[in-house]
Amino acid sequence: MRLLLPPLFLVALFAMLLVRGYVHNEIVPDHRIRPEAGTGEVPDRILDGGPVIDARSRSHPTSLQIPDHRLVLTFDDGPDPKWTPKILDELKKHHAHAVFFVTGANASRYPDLVRRMVDEGHEVGVHTFNHPDLSYQSKSRIDWELSQTQLALAGAAGIRSSLFRPPYSSFADAIDDENWPVIQYVGSRGYITALDSTDSEDWQKPGIAKIVENATPAGGKGAVVLMHDAGGDRAETVAALDRFLPELQAQGYKFTNLTDALGAPSAHTPVTGLALWKGKAFVTVVGVSERATDILVVCLAVIGVLVFVRFGLMLILAAVHARRVRRRGFRWGPEVTRPVSVVVPAYNERECIANTVRSLAASDHRIEIIVVDDGSTDGTADIVDALRMPYVRVVRQRNAGKPAALNNGIAHARYDLVVMMDGDTVFEPSTVRELVQPFGDPRVGAVAGNAKVGNRDSLIGAWQHIEYVMGFNLDRRMYDMLGCMPTIPGAVGAFRRDALDRVGGMSEDTLAEDTDITMALHRDGWRVVYAENARAWTEAPESVQQLWSQRYRWSYGTMQAIWKHRHAVVESGASGRFGRVGLPLVSLFMVLAPLLAPLIDVFLLYGLVFGPTARTAAAWGAVLALQAVCAAYAFRLDRERLTHLVSLPLQQILYRQLMYVVLLQSWITALTGGRLRWQKLRRTGVVEAPGSIPQRRPVA
């Protein structure tokens, strides 16, 4: 289920966007309007007849006039959430009825307004679903426009309507040879076509007086009056109604429904059974899609703001950090020259452990090396013994997990400064020396080193290389300046032994013991800083499955650590400072924001397919350009070649989806109370520190 839900969620998200695009006429929109054509095929009795056309009998189509002193107000293109209620209020105020020719798209989006129209005694007619010019459409498309609108009416008000008005229609004498076949075909489907006989031209916003003048028929004749309740600002229409209705009523006019004016049965037929439930289901889906996508748009805006804020903070604070630690004469305090204990927890690391130990042997700082074999079954400890290095100790234990191995190594350490590294990592000769220099400041309890990807030649390795340089090390500079470093990487970190003792050592409470211990040190009042020159080269996962396993553990462990230290938010002192600064930043940028990041790509895909394509591509390109600038700056700070950034666009599209699925899986695991076990990654031992020459050096 944890594998299935993330892709299902993405599919559901895209489906909601498709529904939204469907009802907003964004999916294959058709805005063509056919120019006028000849009228040779239109019967004269239709051209010279009334505004109501009954073409249900193809051989004897008829037209109907509205009786004198009867006015049928009609409103096209709605319902509209702003203007339709105001128009309904005016009609109710003056005890008038009208016919609303609604589009199926708007009816499905605002079903409450359709229900109100019916409940207050108005008639509702079909104005197609997406408002295309039907003279361009096939019969199957016409059927689709009619049936989808009826589906919306059934879901909104439980009715079916027999009234129809074609989009872009006018008076009866404007029917031409292109539109007449449409009216005939729609008539064969059981509809009465209602055109208009007076056009208020309210869509042109000519002013209230002009609207009233245009809508008023001459000589007391009956008429079908065309107005609009959607499609723009209808303030003039609302104001005109407040004058038009009482003036015409005073002249003896009655404002009635179309069927009442013609003395015909109601155009509404109740819908029951399966058709009713299908309509309700459709309206419900549209409503959920509308609300969900509105929320997602807000989330996307929030993500956009967060991306810009985060990148801005990283660029500014990283520059300040680099300037501070690189200025001439900068020192953390007195130079640290005392020996250091290096603890290497190892479980089935036969491919890597020799390179790891040899790289430590080349260190230019006095060290002791403690390899803790955590119940390996592949002879890892024997490989270390075979190196015959007198300053290397191998501690064997039953398999108990990495935290237990680290604590065992700390217990065997002889010195007060302890460096921790992974068994698949190699150090440069200067790494240990650079890593421990910040301990010249007695306030520093731990130091994060600069972990780098050694196997970056593959595409997935290059993507992780970008992530490490930009997403991790640039972040660490920012967090260092803010005083809330969230994680000391397991590949390269150093600790005061006193600080470890005060917080109880490495905890087994979470799967991210490095994040857990870092947060504990902050809460205990210690400074945690970043040493950019303490470089360690680690072997990153080389397959999607391995990367998935690693990041799944990282994400879930980070959530566990945040939850474990949640009380820091309300505490005082150093713990409270970290809780109110560090925890929110970690939660926001490492847990919540990445979960919403795929929205960028989902909206990108939708925008590219359904438009506006150019603006969508430009917006996504702007975000990518910003990321490229930050990545280039991060690479410059780390003195890395920019060639790997060629794969950045592909990384942003594919890698982000993988990280999203991993994070969503972690959320599901956390919410369902699942337990995640340690997962051993397959290593090849190909990573060596650039320029290092393994050699034996005496140590203290």
Active site residues per annotation? 76, 228
**Amino acid at residue number 150:** Q
At residue 157's C-alpha, the angle toward residues 156 and 160, to 5°, is 105
Question: For the packed helices 598-610 and 273-326, what is the interaxial angle rounded to 10 degrees?
Answer: 120
CA-closest candidate to residue 466, choices 644, 624, 641: 644
Q: Whole-angstrom Cα distance, residue 382 to residue 268?
A: 88
Sorted by sequence, the CB contacts under 8 Å of residue 616 that are 6+ apart come out as 603, 604, 607, 608
Q: Whole-angstrom Cα distance, residue 448 to residue 466?
A: 19
Ranges of beta strands (E only) in 299-339 are none
At residue 209's C-alpha, the angle toward residues 207 and 215, to 5°, is 100
DSSP state of 587: I
CA-closest candidate to residue 461, choices 678, 651, 629: 651
Q: In this structure, is the dihedral angle defined by the CA atoms of residues 21, 25, 30 and 31, taken in order, positive or negative?
A: negative
Both tokens of residue 555?
């994400």
CA-closest candidate to residue 226, choices 252, 247, 249, 244: 244
CA-closest candidate to residue 546, choices 664, 398, 662, 420: 662
Both tokens of residue 318?
């990283």
**Amino acid at residue number 685:** G
Query: Are the C-beta atoms of 556 and 669 separated by less than 8 Å?
Result: yes
Both tokens of residue 686?
């190909």
Sorted by sequence, the CB contacts under 8 Å of residue 388 that are 6+ apart come out as none
CA-closest candidate to residue 447, choices 333, 346, 591, 558: 333
Both tokens of residue 295?
């929320």
Mapping DSSP to helix (H, G, I), strand (E, B) and coil, where does residue 572 land? Answer: coil
Sorted by sequence, the CB contacts under 8 Å of residue 516 that are 6+ apart come out as 506, 507, 509, 510, 557, 560, 561, 564, 565
